[in-house]
Each structure stands twice: as C-alpha cells, then as structure tokens.
Homo-oligomer: A and B are copies of this chain.
Amino acid sequence: MNKREVPYKIFLTENEMPKAWYNVCADIKCDPLLNPATHEPAKQEELEAVFSSECARQELNRRDDYIEIPAAVRDFYKMYRPSPLVRAYCLEKYLDTPAKIYYKFEGNNTSGSHKLNSAIAQAYYAKEQGLKGLTTETGAGQWGTALAMACGYFGLDLTVYMVRCSYEQKPQRKTLMTTYGANVIASPSETTEAGRRILAASPDYRSGSLGTAISEAVEAAVTSGGERRYSLGSVLNQVVLHQSVIGIESKRAMEKYDEYPDIIIGCAGGGSNLGGLMSEFMRDRLKGKAKPYFIAVEPMSCPSLTKGVFAYDFCDTGKVTPLAKMYTLGSGFVPAPTHAGGLRYHGMSPVISRLYHDGYIDEARAVSQTDVFDAAVRFARVEGILPAPESSHAIKVAIDEALKCKETGKRKTILFGLTGTGYFDLYAYERFLQGSMTDALPTNEALERSESDVPVV
C-alpha cells in the first residue's frame, strides 16, 4: 500500500486529540437568550439557577474562540474517542461514483451516539461545582443514556424524564439508563407541577412529548433547593461547543491525507450533531480560508429550517424556558410519530439557525422517512454498520450527492456525520422491511396553526 493511500478508518493518536473546543459564538453574530417575562437578554445569574455555573458561562461566552477541555473530560474521551473517520470505500464502489465519501462515526460507545461528548462535560462541571446531581429529559433515549453514563462515572445522581411513549416502547433503553444508575420517570408524571397540570388538562397528553419532558426536568432542577441542575443534550450553545470535538477530529484526520471536504452533510434535529461536525470547517469559512458547502438535513415530518420561521420562541411546550432566536415550527408543534425520535423537535439550535439565516449553512434539505430507511438499509449492507434513523438522514443526502457526482463526473469530497447506531430502532427497520412504514407529513394548516403560537418579541 502506498503511504499516502487513505486507510478505511483514520484514527488520531491520543496526542492528536483536541485539547480545546471551538466556540463558534466568538466568530458570529450570536443572538442572546431572552427572559420570557421581560424580553431582556438572560443574565448569567438567571441561567445559573438552571445550569451549572460553568455551563451558564459557556452558554453566554461570545469572547473565547477556543475553550480548554478539562483533563478529566479528556481522559473520559480517551475511553471511546478518537472516533474513526471512515473512508466509505465500499459505498463508493457500490454507488460507482467518482466522489470520495468520508463519514465520522460517533456510534462506537454504549450510548450509541455523539451525545456522550457533551454529557460528560456537563456532568464534569456539575461535579466540580459540588452539585449532588442533574435532571434531564430524553426522547428516543440516546441522550438519557449518555448522561446516565456520564453521571455514573462521576458519581452524580440523575433523574431522567423519558417521554412516556418511548418509555413504553423502548424498555431496553430504560434498563440501560438504570444500569448506569439513573432514575427514569415516564413523562408526563405526577412528580412535577408541570406534569400534573398537563395530565389534568387532557389525558390525550399522556403519551408525552420532548417539550413536556423538558418542562418537568427543568422544574425538578430549580425546585431541588440548589442541589441539582438541569442538563440538555442539544440546541444550546454549550452543547454545540462540546460537540465541536467531532469536527476538529474530522479535520485533523483529513489533513493527515491532504483531504478537505467540498460538501459537509449533517442531520439536524436540535442541531448538536451538525453544530459539532461543522466546527472548524465553519471557522475556515467564516475566516474566508475555505468554502465547503454545508447541508443540514431534516425530516419532512418536522421541517423547522425548511418550513419554520426565524423568530424568538420557547424551547419547551410548558413555556418555562428562556426564549431562543431560532427557526421554529412553534413550541406547540407536535410532529408525527416518526422513528427518528432525535429529530422530532420544534426548533433548531440558535447557532445553526443564525448560520443558516446568514447563508453560511448553504442549504437545508427535508427528506422523507421511507427514503431515509431505504438509504439506511443500503448503507448497512455495504458498509456493515446499522445506522440510527437520525444519522440515516445524512446518509440519504450523501448518497444523493455522490450520485450527482456520478452524473457530472466530478470527484467531490463528501463528509457526513454518522451520529449513531440503530440497535434500538429495529422495530422501525422491521416496519420498513415489511413495507408498512409511511411518511406522515404535517399539513400546511397544522404548520400555520402552530406557528401562530410563536410569541411576538
């Protein structure tokens, strides 16, 4: 083998792993969170009631472009990172494309996704602050599992409000979190005021939603007498910061072989994955050093970027959180019960939203559920890995772009994020293979009705 030939998997050494996260908020116009009562920018002390102090500081940090990764977090990263940057030779051959396809695979850890990158950081800062524990919500369960692993590692307690329909459909996910010591409660629950109110209002809400679970988890934290804080796995600036490790590693791995992506593709639900994958590539673009083409992929069933409005809105259904400036479908929007649970969120990270609005993220593309699973199965058969439904949104578009290259004969370099594995999504695969999966799209009426709920700021 020629020394310059790219291997199937590029691993950085421990010494090459990032020692700092990239904070894109230092390089862009970053909209503040607003206090929902006063519509004034949220202050650090307000955020500290909800998040750990360091996380609150990071949330508001517009100054430092790089923030050091604490040694204890770097040590934990070494247990499952660097994640491989894979050259998809088999997929290229299968598609018969001149394109070079790379993917950063974040699924090789027990949480099954990239979520662990931020979970361990948030748990570390809570531990450092002397807190007793954290609270959070989870939908499909990847974030809850990641935070359970992180809290288990640092000896923090954790209460997870799990959307009830997932709680009932995915008992394995609950067991996994319990194995790591978490206390898992089906949401809406009787343990919080928010939960009781929602249950009393309508038994229809019994199956729960992410927005409701967030309301419960935040309430549990702020009423804990200061012993606990709340932790969120996406949307926030701090999460995009922690996830930047994905893109920094990807860039270093590609540089080893003189490669640079022409197209960067990430699925986008709350934005944690795309925000992490783009990181230093976006920095290059902001600094005028390079101009990779960024594509955010979202489900047609929850099209916040492609059909939402760019406005201040609540992050939760119960309207207890600060307002964030983002592309939103309205905090009351209820997406169809599709299988990419991690993408069923009414809003989008303010960072991603701003970059998309200002044209730095070039394109948002909404894809249908059946097309996504078709791509997932084809990918699994040639590349071996069973992808998560969320990740498969990126696969679908990567395949489409590679096939365009086949038409045009252009040898583009494509990088996409393979955020996780689909071991807990086999019911969805079963439905797809049986031909009983549908594409439940929201009507224009439903979208309009929901957006009318967005507050005027």
- A residues bordering B, Cβ < 8 Å? 1, 7-9, 11, 13-15, 75, 78-80, 86, 89-90, 108-110, 112, 149, 152-153, 171-172, 175-176, 178-181, 377, 380-386, 421, 423-424, 426-427, 429-430, 433
Contact = CB atoms under 8 A, between A and B. Distances in A.
13 contacts: A1-B14, A8-B78, A8-B79, A9-B78, A9-B79, A79-B86, A80-B384, A110-B421, A152-B381, A172-B427, A175-B433, A179-B380, A423-B424
Contacts of A8: 14, 75, 78-79
- Say what secondary structure dominates the interface of chain A: helix
Nearest to A433: B178
Given A7-B78, A9-B78, A179-B377, A153 B423 contact: no
A112 to B, nearest CB: 8
B384 A171 contact: no
Nearest to A385: B110
A382 B7 contact: no
Nearest to A423: B423
A90 B79 CA distance: 9
Given A13-B7, A430-B171, A181 B78 contact: no
B78 A381 contact: no
A179 B179 CA distance: 28
Contact of A381 (B15, B112, B181, B423): B181
Nearest to A116: B384
Contacts of A14: 1, 7-8
A386 B433 contact: no
B382 A430 contact: no
B176 A386 contact: yes
Given A75-B89, A178-B433, 16 more contacts: A1-B14, A7-B14, A7-B78, A8-B75, A9-B78, A9-B79, A79-B86, A79-B90, A110-B380, A152-B381, A171-B426, A175-B427, A175-B429, A175-B430, A175-B433, A179-B377
B7 A383 contact: no
Contacts of A429: 175-176, 179
A80 B380 CA distance: 13
B380 A180 contact: yes
A429 B108 CA distance: 20
Given A175-B433, A433-B175, A384 B7 contact: no
Contacts of A377: 179
Contacts of A426: 171-172, 175-176, 179
A153 B382 contact: yes
